[in-house]
Amino acid sequence: MFTKYIFILLTVLALYSGIMVLVSRKPIHSVLFLTLTFFAIAGHYVLLNAQFLAVVHVIVYAGAIMVLFLFTVMLLNLNKDEHSPKSRWAKLLAVIAGCMLMLTLIGIFRNYDLAVAYDPMMTQIGLVKNLGKILYENYLLPFELSSILFLTAMVGAVLLGKKEQL
Amino acid sequence: MEPLTQRSKTVSDKKMTFAEKLYLPAILGGMRITFGHLFKKKTTIQFPEAKRPFAGVYRGRHVLKRDEAGRERCTACGLCAVACPAEAITMVAAERKPGEEGLYREEKYAAVYEINMLRCIFCGDCEEACPKEAIFLTDRLVASEYQRKPFIYGKELLVEPADPEKRIDVSERQTPEVLAFKKDRQHKHNN
Amino acid sequence: MVNAVVYKMILASGILVLSLLVAMYSTLVERKVAGWFQDRHGPNRAGPWGLLQPLADGIKLFFKEEFMPNTADKFLYILGPSLTMLVACLTSAVIPWGPDIVINGESYALQVADINIGILYIFAIVSVGVYGIMIGGWASNNKYSLLGAVRASSQMISYELAMSLSIITIVMMTGSLSMREIVNQQQGFNWNIWYQPLGFLIFLICAFAETNRAPFDLPECETELVGGYHTEYSSMKLGFYLFAEYINMFISGAVMATLFLGGYHFPGLDKLGLSPNVFALVSFLVLFTKITFFGFIFMWVRWTLPRFRYDQLMKLGWKSLMPLAILNVLVTGVIILFNL
């Protein structure tokens, strides 16, 4: 089937660009590779029949956050090779933190019942209608709480921006 | 202060009203004006096909006129060269030989008559100075060239063709008013 | 199945060719209209009425010297215009170009992809559209290009918000994210613009900003930034940037016609009793007329209004359009809630 090859292609793309984010020397390249990773992941969402998630992923991550990232990197002009060599401790801590994240992820997927994914009902969950229903019926409280989280972040941003006048 | 034109507006720094702050009325007004221009007559002149008409007294490339019988009018008196502020005109006079009566109107004629078009400022003083009505400026243009040399126009370029069909019409420069003006010594530049 | 795939491919390439052709001739129309607005004729030497002018321009661009600054980031420098062009061509996929047509007894939709999140797809593409400009501007390694790129990105982000908010009202009214659904709810003269005039206005203004058209053409503002993000570009790479702008114009006209002006619907058209294919053709022409109308408005505004100052641009986006759009959403919500 086509989808199999597309899946392989997207996976290779996601992994390659993910690695390139770390390996690239220029910050701009890193940012662009990260964007590419997001696109590959959006492609995976489409393969999982979650078009809504895919598109929102592209809008939010590729379209807004990464553009802001790119914007900042361009403005700061980090292009010159002046990345300060991190201390050995910082490197060690980064490795430890990364390993812990990986362990957590492995732990999650080991306990995850893969059979759920084959539930025919689940293949439709990514569509807007079903997703909306589930969000607003089963998960209303977390959904609203997350919006409050955003509100706090926004208020915080405004406060930070107005710092001088306070 | 008296405004210079009727369309001038005094600029003020007053606070804008709500309607003005919306900008939309102003924008729509501007768009109405531009839309009106869609249907206005185009000011373009489609050059190679249509040409802007020259004024009858336009001062362009010179011509040395012949008289009705086809004889050159110029007698190489040199008044034009004297009048020329740019010193663009040179000539060599010669005496008419017997048998050349059909070519030159008077006993003396210009064997060489050259105008340097790069020096000429097309002021028309030569035309004014000429006592024989021989030299005129016309509404023709001096063509561009790649070298300086071709800009020195000799008689072959200046004298009009003898063929009555191909004569250069300068009648608009010879209206009674112009002739009277030429006679009036008061307006002479080189009195 | 195979039939459907072949049909979709033909349709997709047809729409691609159509948008390229329209973009090509938009350049001519733009110059013509500009001429008329300024009491001139516009280009009229190449072919009758200057109809071959786009061809001449294209050939000229192709044969211009291919120039690349030696300090440029080679790959990104080429990626920039390519990406801009690609993204410009992508949006047309979800626009319904007309009612179904019937070939050999089977009906086919005049739409490349009727995904149930058509509007969001358009948003995604629009929000990605800025990458081409940013990458190109940065890769040129020129301060003017960089400034243009930075301007483009901040402008696009700012106006995207108001744009999305103005469309949310449409989604609230129709209860669907599918473009076809939205069009079909505007049958006859039941157009969304009558219910959402404010939303339409906001969307129109944002469309100007998103396509980098005057009076929002600050990213390529030649009086300040030489050429903005395409200062260092020449030949067909520059052509791609310029071309993408016209494709964007065409597509945004199509989106506006679809969302607010009833797409391919026109009052009384369905009562004429035309055969399905003729009906589809006429409907398509109706949509095309509406797009042309928007194209003309784009040009009309460009040759009327002067360019904004940058702080005015930001102020308009954040302090006027955003609150207005939010207010619009609130009012619409209240009206829908109480069924007014």
Q: Which of residues 41-70 of C touch B (CB under 8 A)?
A: 41
| Closest listed residue to residue C167, CA positions, set C130, C205, C196 | C196
Angle at A74 between CA A68 and CA A76, to 5 degrees: 100
Is A52 a residue whose pLDDT tops 70?
yes
Give the nearest partner residue to C39 out of B27, B37, B46, using CB atoms.
B37
Pairwise CA distance, residues C133 & B99, whole Å: 84
C46: its two tokens? 């190449």
Residues 6 or more apart in contact with residue B134 via CB below 8 angstroms: B64, B65, B72, B73, B74, B75
- C304 touching chain B per CB within 8 A: yes
**Are chains C and A touching, using the cut-off of 8 Å on CB pairs and a minimum of 3 such pairs?**
yes
Is A115 a residue whose pLDDT tops 70?
no
Give the nearest partner residue to C120 out of A59, A62, A71, using CB atoms.
A59
Contact C121 A35 (CB under 8 A): no
Can you say how many angstroms the Cα of residue C78 is from the centroid of all Cα atoms in its chain?
23
Pairwise CA distance, residues C181 & C192, whole Å: 13
Contact C304 B38 (CB under 8 A): no
Pairwise CA distance, residues C130 & A68, whole Å: 11
Query: Could you tell me the pLDDT band of residue A68, with boundaries at 50, 70 and 90?
Result: confident
Mean pLDDT of A138-151: 89
| Closest listed residue to residue B137, CA positions, set B118, B152, B120 | B120
pLDDT (0 to 100) of residue B33: 87
pLDDT (0 to 100) of residue A152: 93
List the beta bridge partners of residue C106: C103
Give the nearest partner residue to C153 out of A35, A62, A67, using CB atoms.
A67
What letter represents residue C325's amino acid? A
Is C284 a residue whose pLDDT tops 90?
no
Portion of chain B with pLDDT greater than 90, in percent: 13
Chains touching chain C, criterion 3+ CB pairs below 8 Å: A, B
C59: its two tokens? 């050939």
| Distance between C163 CA and the closest CA of chain B, angstroms | 18
Give the nearest partner residue to C39 out of B27, B43, B46, using CB atoms.
B43
Contact C38 B37 (CB under 8 A): yes
Query: Could you tell me the pLDDT band of residue C106, with boundaries at 50, 70 and 90?
Result: confident
Portion of chain C with pLDDT greater than 70, in percent: 98
| Closest listed residue to residue A5, CA positions, set A62, A54, A43 | A43
pLDDT (0 to 100) of residue C22: 87
Q: Which residues of A touch C156 (CB under 8 A)?
A: 67
pLDDT (0 to 100) of residue A65: 85
Query: Could you tell me the pLDDT band of residue A149, with boundaries at 50, 70 and 90?
Result: very high
Q: Which residues of C touch A51 (CB under 8 A)?
A: 115-117
Pairwise CA distance, residues C176 & C165, whole Å: 15
Give the nearest partner residue to B27 out of C39, C303, C305, using CB atoms.
C305
Pairwise CA distance, residues C12 & A46, whole Å: 20
Is residue A82 helix, strand or coil? Answer: coil
Query: Of the CATH numbers 1.10.150.120, 1.20.120.1200, 1.10.490.10, 3.40.190.10, which one belongs to the domain with range A1-80?
Result: 1.20.120.1200
Query: Could you tell me the pLDDT band of residue C117, with boundaries at 50, 70 and 90?
Result: confident
pLDDT (0 to 100) of residue C176: 79
Residue in A closest to C124 by C-alpha: A59
User: For chain C, which residues make up each domain, given as ranges?
Assistant: 2-337
CA separation (Å) from B106 to B75, B94, B102, C77?
A: 6, 11, 10, 79
Bigger pLDDT: A71 vs A81: A71
Contact B34 C40 (CB under 8 A): no
CA separation (Å) from A15 to A9, A157, C329?
A: 10, 33, 41
| Distance between C182 CA and the closest CA of chain A, angstroms | 16
Q: Which residues of B touch C38 (CB under 8 A)?
A: 37
Bigger pLDDT: C76 vs C101: C76
pLDDT (0 to 100) of residue B1: 65
DSSP type of residue A58 = I
| Distance between A64 CA and the closest CA of chain C, angstroms | 7
Chains touching chain A, criterion 3+ CB pairs below 8 Å: C
pLDDT (0 to 100) of residue A78: 56
Q: Tell the burial category of A78 from Cβ atoms under 10 Å away from its Cβ (0-12, 13-18, 19+).
A: middle
Pairwise CA distance, residues A47 & C255, whole Å: 27
Whether the ipTM is more than 0.95: the answer is no
B91-107 confidence digits (pLDDT tens): 998 888 888 888 888 88
Bigger pLDDT: A156 vs B191: A156
C173-228 confidence digits (pLDDT tens): 888 788 888 888 887 777 878 888 888 888 988 888 888 887 888 777 777 777 77
Is B187 a residue whose pLDDT tops 70?
no
C137, C148 Cβ separation under 8 angstroms: yes
C91, C19 Cβ separation under 8 angstroms: no
Contact C40 B37 (CB under 8 A): no
pLDDT (0 to 100) of residue B114: 92
The three state secondary structure string of chain C is: CHHHHHHHHHHHHHHHHHHHHHHHHHHHHHHHHHHHHCCCCCCCCCCHHHCCHHHHHHHHHHHCCCCCCCCCCHHHHHHHHHHHHHHHHHHHHHCCCCCCEEECCEEECCCCCCCCCHHHHHHHHHHHCHHHHHHHHHHCCCHHHHHHHHHHHHHHHHHHHHHHHHHHHHHHHHCCCCHHHHHHCCCCCCCHHHHCHHHHHHHHHHHHHHCCCCCCCHHHCHHHHCCHHHCCCCHHHHHHHHHHHHHHHHHHHHHHHHHHCCCCCCCCCCCCCCCHHHHHHHHHHHHHHHHHHHHHHHHHHHCCCCCCCHHHHHHHHHHHHHHHHHHHHHHHHHHHHCCC
pLDDT (0 to 100) of residue A148: 93
Give me the long-range contacts of C9-12 (CB less than 8 A, separation at least 24): C11/C108, C11/C110, C11/C111, C11/C112, C12/C93, C12/C112
A2-49 confidence digits (pLDDT tens): 778 888 888 999 999 988 888 887 788 888 899 889 989 888 888 877
C130-148 confidence digits (pLDDT tens): 888 888 888 888 888 888 8
pLDDT (0 to 100) of residue A113: 65
pLDDT (0 to 100) of residue B185: 65
pLDDT (0 to 100) of residue A80: 56
Pairwise CA distance, residues B138 & B61, whole Å: 6
User: For chain A, which residues make up each domain, given as ranges?
Assistant: 1-80, 87-118, 121-166
Query: Could you tell me the pLDDT band of residue A101, with boundaries at 50, 70 and 90?
Result: very high
pLDDT (0 to 100) of residue A123: 63
| Closest listed residue to residue C229, CA positions, set C155, C309, C152 | C152
Bigger pLDDT: A145 vs A111: A145
Give the nearest partner residue to B38 out of C37, C41, C305, using CB atoms.
C37
Q: Tell the burial category of A104 from Cβ atoms under 10 Å away from its Cβ (0-12, 13-18, 19+).
A: exposed
Can you say how many angstroms the Cα of residue C278 is from the centroid of all Cα atoms in its chain?
27
Neighbours of B132 (CB within 10 A): 17
Can you say how many angstroms the Cα of residue C29 is from the centroid of all Cα atoms in its chain?
16
What is the average pLDDT value for chain B, to the nearest integer? 84
Query: Could you tell me the pLDDT band of residue A164, with boundaries at 50, 70 and 90?
Result: low
C39-91 confidence digits (pLDDT tens): 888 888 888 888 888 888 888 888 888 888 888 778 888 888 888 888 888 88
Pairwise CA distance, residues A17 & A9, whole Å: 12
Is A138 a residue whose pLDDT tops 60?
yes
Contact C303 B34 (CB under 8 A): yes
Whose tokens are 């070298």? That residue is B147
Query: Could you tell me the pLDDT band of residue C243, with boundaries at 50, 70 and 90?
Result: confident
- C40 touching chain B per CB within 8 A: yes
Contact C37 B37 (CB under 8 A): yes
Q: Which residues of C touch A55 (CB under 8 A)?
A: 117, 120-121, 123-124
Q: Which residues of B touch C36 (CB under 8 A)?
A: 37-38, 42
C245-261 confidence digits (pLDDT tens): 888 888 888 888 888 88
Contact B43 C41 (CB under 8 A): no
DSSP A114-129: GGGGG-TTGGGTTSHH
- B34 touching chain C per CB within 8 A: yes
Residues 6 or more apart in contact with residue C138 via CB below 8 angstroms: A28, A70, A74, C73, C76, C145, C146, C149
Angle at B11 between CA B7 and CA B17, to 5 degrees: 110
B98-151 confidence digits (pLDDT tens): 888 888 888 888 899 999 999 999 988 888 888 888 888 888 888 899 999 999
Residue B72: phi and psi, rounded to 5, are -65, 135
pLDDT (0 to 100) of residue A117: 56
CATH class of domain segment(s) B62-187: alpha beta
DSSP chain B: ---SSTT------PPPPHHHHH-HHHHHHHHHHHHHHHTSPP----TTTS-PPPPTT---SEEE-B-TTS-B------HHHHH-TT--EEEEEEEPPTT-TTTBSSSEEEEEEEEETTT-----HHHHH-SSS-EEE-SPPPPP-SSSGGGEE-HHHHBPPSSGGGPPP-GGG--HHHHHHHH-GGG-S--
- A51 touching chain C per CB within 8 A: yes
C340, C173 Cβ separation under 8 angstroms: no
B159, B72 Cβ separation under 8 angstroms: yes
| Closest listed residue to residue B82, CA positions, set B190, B183, B159 | B190
Is residue A56 helix, strand or coil? Answer: helix
| Distance between A135 CA and the closest CA of chain C, angstroms | 17
Bigger pLDDT: B61 vs B164: B61
Chains touching chain B, criterion 3+ CB pairs below 8 Å: C
Pairwise CA distance, residues C168 & C163, whole Å: 9
